[in-house]
Structure 1
Amino acid sequence: MIGQYIHFSESRTIALKEQELIQLLNEARMAYYNTDIPLMTDAEFDQLEDNLREINPESPYFSTVGHEGEDSGKITHAEPMLSMGKAKTIVEVFKWMDKLGMPDDTKWTLQPKIDGLSATCFYSGGTLRYVATRGDGSVGQDVTTIADYIEDIPQSIAETDHDIEIRGELYLPKNTDYETGGRPLRNNCVGLVNRKENREDLRYVRFVSYQTARWNPSASEAGIILWLKQQGFHTVEYHEARSRADIESFYNDYLQGYRDQWLYETDGLILTVDDNSLHREIDSRWVVDHHHHYALAIKPPSASKKTRLKAVDWQVSRQGALIPVALFEPIELGGATLARASLHNRAFVESMALQLGDELLIERANDVIPYVKENLSSSMREGESFMSNLAPSLCPVCGSAVVEEGVHLKCSNLECPERKIQTVLYWVKESGMDQVAEATIRLLFDKKIIANVSDMYKIEASDLEGLDGFGDKKIYNFLTQLEKVRTMEAPALISKLGIPLVQMKALKKLGINSMDAFMAFEDETFVIGRNILTWKRNPDNIRFLQDLLSVVNVQDSKDIQTLGQICMTGKGPMGRKEIQKIIEERGYEFSSSVTGSTTILLCENPEGGSSKLQKARKMGIQLISYEDFLSE
């Protein structure tokens, strides 16, 4: 279920061993930085980190930042993009200031901690050379192509004497016209940045800058923001403070107004020693691995409001778990109207002792996701069970018996229609079939045209004729989307099976480049390997895979010598995945960025002036139009 969080009770997290905690945290990091489906709230993530710190404060986990994305070109940061230490109260902030021991007249800068996707734009000679995400802090993902769509990332700047990185946050504003589908803005932003086709929607994404690297145009952090604004960049709001009273006053202003008024979602403030000439000396007093010591993230309590529980809607996931969703009287919170929130699982509902009509305290976890923080009515009936009046004994979709399995209630029917629908929707999403809507899949189920993923590949045009909303164009588009994913390499198919943490990069590291290698794999050394073995032990999973293999053309992935590396810029006459497929069929390797290994740059017009074209000319790379290349 999109937007579903997993609830970790305090007793459970305390009992987790170090490696289990690290595994959970790394899974959460991977989801947070590389997907549009978060695994847990910020508060739950912080709680797990606190528990790990209690067990082993020297854990190697704390020397990493973020999480590496999928291989689509890597950028090694000249200066690491580190995280920050955290404070949850103004008292903790003052303790941190005491530790720094700065003079009383020290100038501080406060700015919003924006809940987006951290990125950096590198300019050399005034020309944009690349855009990269933070990644793991040392190596980020090359996303230079997004600059063709995002107006806040200029192709050139006036500063030509110094190499400079402009660092900031990619985000969707609160008043965006983009259709979010009810999902958090950050998750939608990540999805758009990672999208490989239909990228025009990237125009909704903003880039807000707040920092420079490699060269500082000012010795003041506030001065850097002012300089960025003068250069035409979209910049963050900021506040200069010279006393603790001023810091506390701005913090209160943030809680009471700014976090609702600012158009970017935030999850706190950043407090920094304004004089950046002091930063190196401050860092020298402590080990710098996970974060610098001259700045601090102030993460306040999430905004909250009271309301009444009207109903609980139980939704069925592709694994058969019944996911409870609280339906409550609408409230205004953080500039949004809220009327529903996930209750995670059976155990969470039971721990809340929920009953209809209860008074609930709703938070926006991370100031974004509606979250049931507390049942204010439960204290009067301690010990009573919720099970008799809220939990279904039968599946709400198929009417089959419900069984308890761990923290969940599960539908016992493997043939439950909703389980199958959710499985197909997952495959459609993971395959990049962006033009196939959920409503389309549900219609095909209702009309009994499909009952599983493999059935989709058996659809012919005649099966769709006469269906509501299916004209000739939609039929053509649907069948075209299917054909795009009818043939794929084994790692691509395996990565779409829904095995936790198993993606293309992981399969490459494990040496799994064919279906035979996948079925023969038995290595339990790493978590990813154990996840594969667990998945294969389930006979239903094997049947699902066999059905897929009967309709999908699967090829082994081989490391072969190529004719060279080809990169693309601008808009081609067909989708990028289609052009990429042609590139690879002709014996070339596709690259998302222009590098020293690039042989050819495909473009709309070889005489154009984009940053990629200018860079390619300087490097002596051959420029070929899409028309000429595709007509060969």
Structure 2
Amino acid sequence: MDTLNRIKELERLIIQAKKSYYSFTDDTDEQQLTDAEFDLLEEELRQLDPNNVVLRQVGYEDTLNSITNKIKVTHTIPMLSMDKVKKKEDLLSWFNNKIDSGLITDYQLVVEPKVDGVSGDLLYSNTKFQYAATRGNGRIGLKIDTNLIKNTIKSTIPIKGSEIHIRGEFYIPKSYNLKKERDDYEPLRNLCAGALKRKEPIEINKYIEFIPYNIIGTDITFDKEIEKLELLRKTKYPDIQYFITKDITHVWEYFEEYEKSLRNKWSFESDGLVVVFNSINTQKIIVQEFGDTDHHHKYAIAIKPKSVGAWSTIRDVEFNVSRNGRIVPVAIMYPVQIGSVMVSRATLNNMSFVKENNIQLYDKVFCNRTNDVIPDIVKVIHTTKSKEVTIEKCPSCGTKLVEKGVDYICPNHLNCPAQIVNKFLHWFTSNDIKHIGPSSIDKLIHGGNFSSLWQLYAMNQNDLMCVIEKYCNISKDTDTMKEFIRLFEKSKDQTEQDIIGKYGIPTIGIKMLKKMNIYTLNDLIKYKDLSYMSSDVAVEKNICIWLNQDPRNFDDLFSLIKYIDPKKKVDKNIKKKLFCITGALDNLSRNDAIKEIENKYPNYEYSNTVTKDVSILYIGNDATNTSKYKTAVKYNIPIIEYKSI
């Protein structure tokens, strides 16, 4: 099974899992995936296709559309999901990305448990309970039969208002396991979801509890997130424990304490911690500056528990095809629990790695998963069933493979479906064009008959939006479409050299083009001369091979540059120096600061990250805890307070 087929299989499994979990059409005890198993599927899909539309969906749309025996409820303010991190550096990146904007002055954080239950919304009017609803797809939920939660719901609350929504998690406490002495290991979250689906209550329903974490009202306003949590204490529902800090490193220390002891002390099952900016004004600034997604708010993040390693057995080997035809083997294993996640795949790098480590089908293997989505195999034990791993033809197009160095290569570079998809994906990724992944590109190619990037750039904006809506399932009037169009248009604002460097010519990037003094197609085309086939310079030979492979290689690149029509030119006489900025700037946005520096020092250009190539780091307020500052200190890069310029 190649990557595209695996993506389709993951889409099917995730949609089926959501359908089972969110369906309120029967009262059967249908077997569901555990939260960890579901996370595994989502993480694998996110690794293979980060922009897949299934990952943006909250709940299950088709299930809601097909339900006729339940009352549907529209969430005026959507109930979104959470973005997730597992590594400390990713948490710091999320935080510093907001702080480095220079717009945020109140960066206090609230940290609370991520309760592993079923999200719900309770409506109260003039202190009296009206109904409870599920999250559904985030925009539309289903009313829950009050008889199923009559032991859970408070009939009145001491909070006045014509429309008060209390949001939180329905859950079954850990004590239920002790009372029932269960040995079936069915996750409490799944038991709770099943109990809320029933037509009539059974014994388990009396154990359901509700813990609130948010309150929304037409007659109440808040300045801080903790004001909501304190007001919710008055409802007599269980309190949610929280922790406040301005130091993001303290958040990670609290998470480490959570992993060691806190999660075992709480009465409910949890799946990590939730981190949110305390100031409501800060939340609004983040939404205005960074936007929101259809899936989650950018002012909050969930930290998920770390993983370790475990033994499993290889039951199959999947072969994926890169944009340049390289065959990448992946071990498919029997699912094994590593930390809080079920793992069923491990990278095998290339066929030379498989041979050198004598990895065979049906081997027993030990996998490490140190916060990586796909783990590494570090130990191998053969079994009586072990069988050599072999491949002769491309899994995507069936072309006979050729051996080149450590890799097996599919030579059908222009017509292999997997290579075409990955070429599109490389361009979108290189230009930071979001929301289009392998699955969407596959639909563009096969459904829309797109085979070259220039075809998209030849369209006017309205036609492009129609195509993206039809094949990529992104509605025209959404923020997701607006961001896609903005980034697509931004990709036109680059030099001819940038376009050539990002196009995906094997071993050729922008740095190499600069080194070779290749600025335009006229500079590139000279390497079509067959004499370069015998060049001692590998890069010259690679360009010559690419240009002579097929006339369409150059023709497609020529057409792309023609339709982008780059106005930006490379200044060949000036080698730009790089500068970076971190910390909050007084009364000045980040973009204005960049323009100010570049106008004052024309031979400098902005870098979004600090590397060894950066000449100066300008700092604002509270910059010393940022990753950029620490990297600059590490590389002895000059650090200057911004106000001093």
Q: Could you say which TM-score interval applies, normalised by the shorter chain?
A: 0.3 to 0.5
Higher relative contact order (CA 8 A, sep 6+): 2
TM-score (norm 2): 0.46
- Which one has the largest radius of gyration? 2
TM-score (norm 1): 0.46
